Structure 1
């Protein structure tokens, strides 16, 4: 049995392998995130410990020696085996973990209230829900799958359309002491809530109105906050169907009129292509497709 107590310093071995692969101490230092001097010192210490010159120095240039080349080949295989074993262990440990990222509004108003049903189906699975309006680096952030609202252009990712969405006005039944507008023209008398980048004008035109885009009043950056403000009776909101549907079903909100317009964007399920082979990702995909199918589409 090998005496592992006689192994050279592992940091020095890693430094040497990187230097041998790059043929340059500076590029090895960049890879390992240490200084050029640290790489040089670790390689020199390894040479002294082994009693063999691993590099020939020519001023600032280096070239690997035949002994160094043989050692680097063996070392590279050993480090590769260690890396593969570590990756396998990490994959095993993550089989019961699923990390999902979603737009903040969709996570708050649609996904989060329904995730309990997914947990009931897979009680041993740990689900981490991340809500963000920023683009996600799936590999760096260890995210398995995401839900995005856009036009389906996600380079390098597998993208599957979940559903379209629609805009229409909603209001609390308590708004204006229950005296709600009966015609689109009567909207002019009331405060109109809106989100940035989601104007009223396209809906006005679909309803046959020549109203100008509202100014003043409450403007939200997050669509879930817009719906919340409508529930609290702060005005009439131009809301997305997916975000307002639950409050309409519960009676907190009512939809005004039978005019709806389709959103330019749709919801997409996105992930790195290799992630689609993970059992937990497949389970989530199948579940969410069934949930989306239950979402009744509005009358337009």
Structure 2
């Protein structure tokens, strides 16, 4: 049969009052009133059947029995605090903080992360979207997914995959009258982004200058959305455009793809590289990428 314990709030009030030998300072510590502390201590004394303080007006002095009891409670509360800190530390250790370029985070990683969480329900995943380089260690980030050349000094770096560019268009663009050859693009609206058209145009044998003027998209997700709304032809990276292509919102034009000089990299600070949650995420991510590449094997001229 479980032993009946005194009210926990009363124990806390008494321990604080005994430590300070002052009801007012105990009240300040626990964010209560002087009267609430006095009431809690009085109730505890009645339950125990003995006085814990000698009172002289608003002045109090702890009794010998009260002092012994307070010392036991102080140790018990310290043990509770230590156990709580240990539990919090375990929780923090199982947190996985990931930062990724926005287009990859929103269009490739986030739709798949549910599978990782199902496999590892004990890991709390925090996904941050940022296009800026960060000091991963200083900002408490475990993993950065970056699109670049792989030069990240001081970091542990693994190549994930490459990507390719090709033009896409909504099937409803200009009432369905779509360009039939690369040369036809000269008569169509080419949507602009930070990714230049020129390398692809040269690969397609089209002699025309880099499009200029009008709106310039820095976010590929916005570029893809604009193309899907039928506003023009967009040059996209395969990895971030597959959702709209698979759903039929966008059509790939022509069978010409140019490899991106930048690639996707898994970047982690050395002190995070061997964390269990980082190793688990890396293994899962590589499996997902392998499956993605198998399903996309015929989508480009050369493998990612």
Q: TM-score, normalised by structure 1?
A: 0.68
Aligned with 2:200: secondary structure? helix
Query: Which residue in 1 is equivalent to 2:199?
Result: 202
In 2, the alpha carbon distance for the partners of 1:200 and 1:266 equals 18
Tell me the alpha carbon deviations over residues 119-145 of structure 1, each in whole angstroms, 9 at most, x when there is no partner: 121223211100011111222211111
The Cα shift of 1:95 comes to 2.6
Q: State whether structure 2 residue 147 is matched by structure 1 residue 149.
A: yes
In 2, the alpha carbon distance for the partners of 1:120 and 1:254 equals 33
Give the counterpart of 1:104 among 102, 105, 122.
102
Tell me the alpha carbon deviations over residues 56-111 of structure 1, each in whole angstroms, 9 at most, x when there is no partner: xxxxxxxxxxxxxxxxxxxxxxxxxxxxx999877523232110000011111111
Query: Which residue in 1 is equivalent to 2:170?
Result: 172
Q: State whether structure 2 residue 114 is matched by structure 1 residue 116.
A: yes
Query: Which residue in 2 is equivalent to 1:213?
Result: 210
Contact map agreement 1:191 1:217 (CA 8 A) in 2: no
Give the counterpart of 1:259 among 251, 256, 259.
256
Query: Which residue in 1 is equivalent to 2:300?
Result: 299
In 1, the alpha carbon distance for the partners of 2:203 and 2:291 equals 27
| Structure 2 unaligned residues grouped into runs of 5+ | 1-18, 20-82
Tell me the alpha carbon deviations over residues 237-295 of structure 1, each in whole angstroms, 9 at most, x when there is no partner: 00001111121111111100011000110000000122121111011101111111122
- How many pairs were matched up? 217
Aligned with 2:154: secondary structure? coil
Q: Which of structure 1's runs of 4+ aligned residues deviate more than 3 A?
A: 85-91
Q: Does the C-alpha gap of structure 1 residues 250 and 264 become closer, same or farther in structure 2, counting only changes over 3 Å?
A: same
Give the counterpart of 1:163 among 161, 164, 168.
161
Query: Which residue in 2 is equivalent to 1:42?
Result: none
| Structure 1 unaligned residues grouped into runs of 5+ | 6-84
The Cα shift of 1:218 comes to 2.4
Aligned with 1:168: secondary structure? strand
Aligned with 1:275: secondary structure? coil
The Cα shift of 1:222 comes to 1.0
Query: Which residue in 2 is equivalent to 1:193?
Result: 191
In 2, the alpha carbon distance for the partners of 1:218 and 1:237 equals 12
Aligned with 1:273: secondary structure? coil
Query: Which residue in 1 is equivalent to 2:242?
Result: 245
Larger gyration radius, structure 1 or structure 2: 2
Q: State whether structure 2 residue 283 is matched by structure 1 residue 282.
A: no
Contact map agreement 1:158 1:273 (CA 8 A) in 2: yes
The Cα shift of 1:179 comes to 1.6
Alpha carbon RMSD of aligned pairs, Å? Answer: 2.1
Q: Does the C-alpha gap of structure 1 residues 86 and 195 become closer, same or farther in structure 2, counting only changes over 3 Å?
A: farther
